[in-house]
Structure 1
Amino acid sequence: MFSALKKSVHSKPRFPEIQANVLAGLTVGVIALPLSMALAIASGVAPQYGLYTAIVAGIVIALSGGSKVNISGPTAAFVVVLLPIVQQYGLGGLLMSGLMAGLILVLMGVGKLGRLIEIVPYPVTVGFTAGIGVVIATFQVKDFLGLHVEATDGHYLDRVWLIVQALSSIRWQETLIALLTLGVLLLWPRLRSRIPGHLVALLVGSLAAWLLAQLVPGFSVATIGSRFSFELGGVTGSGIPPLLPAFDWPWHLPGADGQPIGFSFDLVRELLPAAITIAILGALESLLCAVVADGMSGKKHNPNDELIGQGIGNLVAPFFGAIPATAAIARTTANIKSGGSLPLASVVHALFILVSILLLAPILSYIPMASMAALLMMVAWNMSEARHFIRTAKVAPRDDVVVLLICFSLTVLFDMTLAVAVGMGLAAMLFIKRSIRLTQSATVERDHAGYELPASVTLYDINGPLFFGSAQKALKTLSEVRPEVRVVVLDMTEVTMLDMSAIIAMESIRNDLQARGTGMVINGLQSRMILKLRRAGIRKQSGRIAFSRTLEEGLAKAQAMH
């Protein structure tokens, strides 16, 4: 814990390294500024809450996490989870969910679950991310085309139908600015400029909207300033308040009805599924980001410390109006490419955003909502990883394709909480199914290892782990012992695991064999598993049960027993 802070303090970085990290932090700050606002808007809250997230979570997670180079803040992965929470429980409910998710993340880190990313199958993560990308892109159509949609809540298909019904209200002004912004976003990377493309795109979109409003009569587009407002000292302002994040209890903030949401066990119970989903997504995103960052930077992160750091950040952030945060792969990549190698870069990026709120809040209010929609569509496209999705659907085994399509469909058509639960369940079932295939049991030929086994002795070779999914399959053949067999030898040299279900199955086999008057020799089983059997009552019994270390010894005991 706090490894990033300790290492950065004790290593005493030199001035050139400090200078490089300051410049990297400024570069990432320029990238994160509009993205933080856009992602907050997509999540259903005012843009300043995304900026507060980048500031507070960006600093706290950088100083307490397990990666030196991760940049944390609001991310697109959370949008489909956060938006329904805001619609049902308001800002107060969202911050309470983030607070609970932070506690879960800390417990995951303390519980040494930092290798979580390694047990989630690739089709599950691709299905999630592709589904999230589709949902985000679809929800931006309203602002991209300037549609007048009466209601914005409901499930995906309900909202798509509302958008289709509103197509007659399309505004060419909004569509023009959105297409102009999107065009810059698509063409700018070809120029290979070091200036972030989305910054240029938003600048072009904002200037074009302002100029056309001056030159073309009746031309107007919705902007951050016209869409959002704030109250300060009894005076109402538009856009983003030029204030630092201020401390407040999350349960004092408004719910969906505009009144303080309060704190109660019933509220915690209702928000718990969403908090678990946020924690799982945050863990996956941050750990995946750390793995990518390790490959780029040559450094090594501590996964458990990273989970704890993410948890601490999400515990602190809600008290300053910040929504749930996790490590952002795109911003982390930009940080490393710009020379970032210390948590200092993340701190500088957060301070840059803080200064921007104080100095640039009036200017940021001129950004058109259509431009923000175009930016989010680009984010959604990059996140969906369409090429990886199509390739997986083409070349993956059938089971993996089914998991991919189910996770994708549930994310799009229902909600992320259900998709996470079903996806992890399917991943577990696939693991069990494939592990069962590794466990085999077969009768060995009579002439084995130079021994001519008598008809009264049968040898079974059992391989692989014996657990609740495989024990019955592997030991089923033992129930078909011929009547003339007097001793059964179980060669368990290659058995790697024995759980309670397997022990119960072994007890059942012992009882069946003893009822027939048939003896049993267990060969080659590891001592730790022999101890488990002894605790369950399967012990050495003269003429009935014997244990051996080698097959030669086991066969000798079998012949002596019959």
Structure 2
Amino acid sequence: MTLSGPIDFKPKLISALRDYSFTKFKSDLIAGIVVGIVALPLAVAFAIASGVSPTVGLITAIIGGFLVSALGGCSVQIGGPTGAFIVIVYGIIENFGLEGLAIATFMAGVILVLMGLFHLGTVIKFIPYPIVVGFTAGIALTIFSTQMNDFFGLGLTNMPAAFIPKWGMYFSNFGNIDIVSTIVGVVSLLIIISVPMISKKLPGALIAIILVTLGVWLLNSNFPEYHVATIGDRFGDLVTTIPAPKGFVFSMDTINLLLPSAFTIAVLGSIESLLSATVADGITGSKTGSNTELIGQGVANMMVPFFGGIPVTGAIARTMTNITNGGRTPIAGVIHAIVLLVIFLFMMPLINLVPMACLAAVLIVVSYNMSGWRTVRAILKNPKSDVTVLVVTFLLTVIFDLTIAIEIGLLLAVILFLRRVTENVQIKVYSEQLDIAEGTESTSHEVLDVAKGVQVYEIDGPFFFGIATKFDEMMRTTMGDKPKVRIIRMRKVPFIDATAVHNLEILIRASQEEGIHVVLSGVNDNVRSVLEHVGIDKLIGKDHICPHISLAVKMANKIVWQLDEETSVAE
């Protein structure tokens, strides 16, 4: 991974078209149609749960899905709105309105593009797994909690956004449960669960929506006293045309307010899309261009806000549906967007008839699948540091919000990681004799005689700020008699940071003031270039930076011998 070099932007669509064939097109066509049908109820459900109209969800899936497939770095990735964004989108709309959401989404797109341009695609994959699991499980529980109102037909308005007050309101109004809406929700749930038992390829959510919508339409038409709330009741007649692009006004105050939310959208989107791409690569054997994928996702998120859309990312469930139905190139994703466009233009009146309780059942199943409770159970058997990160991220996501959860979760993971690294890095002290082969797999041993007055310190691991303090403390506690030469053996130091360089410089200057020579041994090229850049080589002399411990010990012994000779002459 580098932060410089040529732009890594090579969309898979371009390479796929070079050797495209009619056989591939047939497979992509079937997969694209199936994925488009599967994506329909999810786009509608995610939009409503996020606090926007179903139209917005479909527009996002059409425009965002097309751009992710056309510009992305994964051959089979399907983009669109996902459940992971429900919590953050709902919170942004509540606090900053739809224009605030548009600005935050656009800013997130810019961040994603910059991440791709600076070759950070591989870095995102290194975000600790307990953090991903923790906030995914937290999002799942939050989505589940938002669906109780529609599932049980409580008819509550002005619901609090916070988790605990929301459930308090539910419990205080559970006497108002609408039995008919609850039956619709339960029947929908049973259909969604049972359909995959018949065939894995059948979209359970879509079949539930079709059957239950038909049943509720008949019920509402013939028995209006048992009316079940539908999308049309909630949102009125839905628009059936793609809206004209609409701009939004930026200001520094708005940017400062929305930057944390934009950062959360970008991090969440990059994690979800690259995780989806990694899973897809494992199945198809292809290789995703991580940086290209981030740039493609970024462009999609920069474009959809102009049409009123919500954040876009790679969707694991839809991507897997694409793969299992034969999709192998981005053409399948493009076809999926076209299918959604056709449905949007010609079938939107039918969307008005879908019961809210049925959509709630769809999202309850989505939240269950997102929860990853088996993974959570497995991580709870891991070291306490992983469990701590998981639990803290989960609780922060549920009780507070996703932005805080990601920021504190990452901070906690970094702190625990640094502590673990610091504990594992060893600093050894030698005197009188030193085995060159110690700490290696070599079977030949060469023991060096270290003159009296020479101390050898070996740092086994990265020399960064945490170890710099530990090394400084070690020097102070193991000095004993004042030495004449200090050898710092750095053969196992892969890198050195500014704090370690600063501490090393202080040590050298303090040693020189006391008449103590400092010799560095086994410095690799990377570390040496850093030391030369800050002038350490000039401070101690280039000859005092030795490539091997035998040369360093030989030099140290010679220095001690010369100092002893000078002392004898003086006496």
TM-score by length of 2: 0.91
Equivalent residues in 2 for 1:514-553 (5 A)?
Answer: 514-539=512-537, 546-553=544-551
Q: Is the 8 A contact 1:410 1:419 kept in 2?
A: yes
Q: Which residue of 1 aligns with 2:218?
A: 211
Q: Which residue of 2 aligns with 1:350?
A: 337
Q: Which residue of 1 aligns with 2:385?
A: 399
Question: Following the alignment from structure 1 to structure 2, what is the Cα–Cα distance between the partners of residues 204 and 132?
Answer: 29
Q: Is the 8 A contact 1:514 1:544 kept in 2?
A: no
| Gap change, CA 1:533 and 1:242, over 3 Å in 2 | closer
Question: Following the alignment from structure 2 to structure 1, what is the Cα–Cα distance between the partners of residues 203 and 64?
Answer: 23
Write the letter of the residue equivalent to 2:458.
D
Q: Is the 8 A contact 1:459 1:490 kept in 2?
A: yes
Deviation at 1:264, TM superposition (A): 3.0
* Equivalent in 409, 434, 441 of residue 395 of structure 2: 409
Write the letter of the residue equivalent to 2:215.
A
User: Higher mean Cα deviation, 172-181 or 153-162?
Assistant: 153-162
1:474 aligns with 2:471: yes
1:99 aligns with 2:85: no
Q: Which runs of 5+ in 2 are unaligned?
A: 1-8, 436-446, 561-571
* Equivalent in 80, 92, 96 of residue 87 of structure 2: 80
| Gap change, CA 1:207 and 1:543, over 3 Å in 2 | closer
Q: Which residue of 1 aligns with 2:269?
A: 282
Q: Is the 8 A contact 1:2 1:309 kept in 2?
A: no
Q: Aligned to 2:159, what secondary structure does the other structure show?
A: coil
CA deviation map 1:200-228 (0-9, x unaligned): 11122212222333555611110011110
Question: Following the alignment from structure 1 to structure 2, what is the Cα–Cα distance between the partners of residues 195 and 451?
Answer: 73
Q: Which residue of 2 aligns with 1:298?
A: 285
Q: Which residue of 2 aligns with 1:382?
A: 369
| Gap change, CA 1:542 and 1:533, over 3 Å in 2 | closer
CA deviation map 1:310-353 (0-9, x unaligned): 01111111112221110100000000110101111111111111
Q: Which residue of 2 aligns with 1:508?
A: 506
Q: Aligned to 1:492, what secondary structure does the other structure show?
A: strand
1:432 aligns with 2:424: no
Write the letter of the residue equivalent to 1:340.
G
Q: Is the 8 A contact 2:453 2:484 kept in 1?
A: yes
Equivalent residues in 2 for 1:169-180 (5 A)?
Answer: 169-180=176-187
Q: Which residue of 1 aligns with 2:312?
A: 325
Deviation at 1:364, TM superposition (A): 1.5
Q: Which residue of 1 aligns with 2:458?
A: 461
Q: Which residue of 1 aligns with 2:406?
A: 420
Question: Following the alignment from structure 1 to structure 2, what is the Cα–Cα distance between the partners of residues 5 and 399?
Answer: 42
* Equivalent in 555, 558, 563 of residue 557 of structure 1: 555
Aligned length: 540
Q: Is the 8 A contact 1:92 1:250 kept in 2?
A: no
Deviation at 1:177, TM superposition (A): 0.1
Deviation at 1:444, TM superposition (A): 1.8
| Gap change, CA 1:263 and 1:558, over 3 Å in 2 | closer
| Gap change, CA 1:46 and 1:467, over 3 Å in 2 | same
| Gap change, CA 1:346 and 1:213, over 3 Å in 2 | same
Write the letter of the residue equivalent to 1:139.
T
1:366 aligns with 2:353: yes
Equivalent residues in 2 for 1:51-130 (5 A)?
Answer: 51-130=58-137
Write the letter of the residue equivalent to 1:326.
T
Q: Is the 8 A contact 1:455 1:484 kept in 2?
A: no
Question: Following the alignment from structure 1 to structure 2, what is the Cα–Cα distance between the partners of residues 217 and 417?
Answer: 44
Deviation at 1:301, TM superposition (A): 1.0
Deviation at 1:8, TM superposition (A): 2.3
Q: Is the 8 A contact 1:69 1:340 kept in 2?
A: yes
Deviation at 1:176, TM superposition (A): 0.5
CA deviation map 1:389-429 (0-9, x unaligned): 12211x11000100000000000000011111111212222
Question: Following the alignment from structure 1 to structure 2, what is the Cα–Cα distance between the partners of residues 103 and 542?
Answer: 47
Deviation at 1:249, TM superposition (A): 1.5
TM-score by length of 1: 0.92
Q: Which residue of 1 aligns with 2:163?
A: 156
Q: Which residue of 1 aligns with 2:497?
A: 499
Question: Following the alignment from structure 2 to structure 1, what is the Cα–Cα distance between the partners of residues 220 and 243?
Answer: 36
Q: Is the 8 A contact 1:521 1:546 kept in 2?
A: yes
Question: Following the alignment from structure 1 to structure 2, what is the Cα–Cα distance between the partners of residues 113 and 484?
Answer: 48
Q: Is the 8 A contact 1:131 1:409 kept in 2?
A: yes
Deviation at 1:167, TM superposition (A): 1.2
User: Higher mean Cα deviation, 455-464 or 289-298?
Assistant: 455-464
Write the letter of the residue equivalent to 1:6.
I
Deviation at 1:544, TM superposition (A): 12
Deviation at 1:50, TM superposition (A): 0.3
Q: Which runs of 5+ in 1 are unaligned?
A: 230-237, 252-261
Write the letter of the residue equivalent to 2:319.
T
Q: Is the 8 A contact 1:519 1:545 kept in 2?
A: no
Question: Following the alignment from structure 1 to structure 2, what is the Cα–Cα distance between the partners of residues 469 and 542?
Answer: 24
Write the letter of the residue equivalent to 2:495.
M
Question: Following the alignment from structure 1 to structure 2, what is the Cα–Cα distance between the partners of residues 539 and 386?
Answer: 55
Q: Which residue of 2 aligns with 1:234?
A: none
| Gap change, CA 1:535 and 1:31, over 3 Å in 2 | closer
Deviation at 1:63, TM superposition (A): 0.7
Q: Aligned to 2:347, what secondary structure does the other structure show?
A: helix
Write the letter of the residue equivalent to 2:334.
V
Q: Is the 8 A contact 2:125 2:274 kept in 1?
A: no
| Gap change, CA 1:362 and 1:542, over 3 Å in 2 | closer
Aligned alpha-carbon RMSD (Å): 1.9
Question: Following the alignment from structure 2 to structure 1, what is the Cα–Cα distance between the partners of residues 459 and 131?
Answer: 32
Question: Following the alignment from structure 2 to structure 1, what is the Cα–Cα distance between the partners of residues 200 and 516?
Answer: 80
Write the letter of the residue equivalent to 1:241.
V
| Gap change, CA 1:419 and 1:541, over 3 Å in 2 | closer
CA deviation map 1:501-539 (0-9, x unaligned): 111111121122223222222111124423433443433
Q: Which residue of 2 aligns with 1:490?
A: 488
| Gap change, CA 1:241 and 1:527, over 3 Å in 2 | closer
Q: Is the 8 A contact 2:107 2:302 kept in 1?
A: yes
Equivalent residues in 2 for 1:8-47 (5 A)?
Answer: 8-11=16-19, 13-47=20-54
Q: Is the 8 A contact 2:518 2:540 kept in 1?
A: no
| Gap change, CA 1:8 and 1:153, over 3 Å in 2 | same
Q: Aligned to 2:125, what secondary structure does the other structure show?
A: helix
Q: Is the 8 A contact 1:540 1:547 kept in 2?
A: no
Write the letter of the residue equivalent to 1:466.
F
Question: Following the alignment from structure 1 to structure 2, what is the Cα–Cα distance between the partners of residues 284 and 160?
Answer: 30
Q: Is the 8 A contact 1:543 1:561 kept in 2?
A: no
